Amino acid sequence: MVRQAIALSPAPVENLKVAINPEYPEQSIMIGENLSTKGKKAICEVLEANMDVFAWKPTDMTGVPRALAEHKMGIKENTLPVRQKKQGQAPEKSKFIMEKVQKLVEAGIMREVTYHSWISNPVLVKKHDRDWRMCVDFTYLNKACPKDCYPLPEINWKIESLCGYPI
């Protein structure tokens, strides 16, 4: 008698979008639909009580001392800096990039540098809601850095290790 294994794919997890801060209704969090009403309410209450720890706009992210937040990259010896050639963007993408960069400069997160040793291009990636996310192509910089002997654990492993525990 031959037994066939039937692979069942898990049902897709539905998420509930919740706007926590009434001043920024377009910024929302996702809560799993499979939570009980009591669980959803508890999560929302915790988030609302701690709204001050979230950065709602780029200027909210300042205030961390540079010595605490600044990171020095370990670059392999004898590695020459790579200056990527500027990639052209469509006018609407270029405008979006300039607006994002300007916000980060005004917030003090980025600053203008006159003589750069490494240059990387911005890259626009479509988000699930059809909006754009600005990223930076650090391919060559990553290649110049030594591999980490003790990398951070996979975030999925950390989240799965919390399964079965209450909020």
Q: Tell me the per-residue pLDDT of 128-161, one tens digit each, with 9 for 90 and over.
A: 888 899 999 889 988 999 887 887 788 888 888 8
Tell me whether residue 90 is in a domain: yes
Q: Tell me the per-residue pLDDT of 115-131, one tens digit each, with 9 for 90 and over.
A: 788 888 899 999 888 88
- Cβ pair 110, 101 in contact under 8 A: yes
Could you tell me the sign of the dihedral formed by the alpha carbons of 165, 161, 152, 135, in that order?
negative
CATH at 116: 3.10.10.10
Q: Tell me the per-residue pLDDT of 98-117, one tens digit each, with 9 for 90 and over.
A: 999 998 888 888 888 887 88
Choose among 58, 50, 60: nearest CA to 29: 50
Pair 89, 126 in one domain: yes
Tell me whether residue 63 is in a domain: no
- Mean pLDDT across the stretch 59-63? 72
* Its pTM surpasses 0.75: no
Structural domain including 90 reads 68-144
- Please indicate whether residue 60 or residue 105 has the higher confidence score (pLDDT): 105
If one counts the domains in the chain, the total is 2
Residue 11 has pLDDT above 60, yes or no: no
Listed as own residue / partner, the contacts of 39-47 with beta carbons closer than 8 Å and 24 or more positions apart are 39/167, 40/16, 42/167, 43/167, 44/18, 44/20, 46/167, 47/20
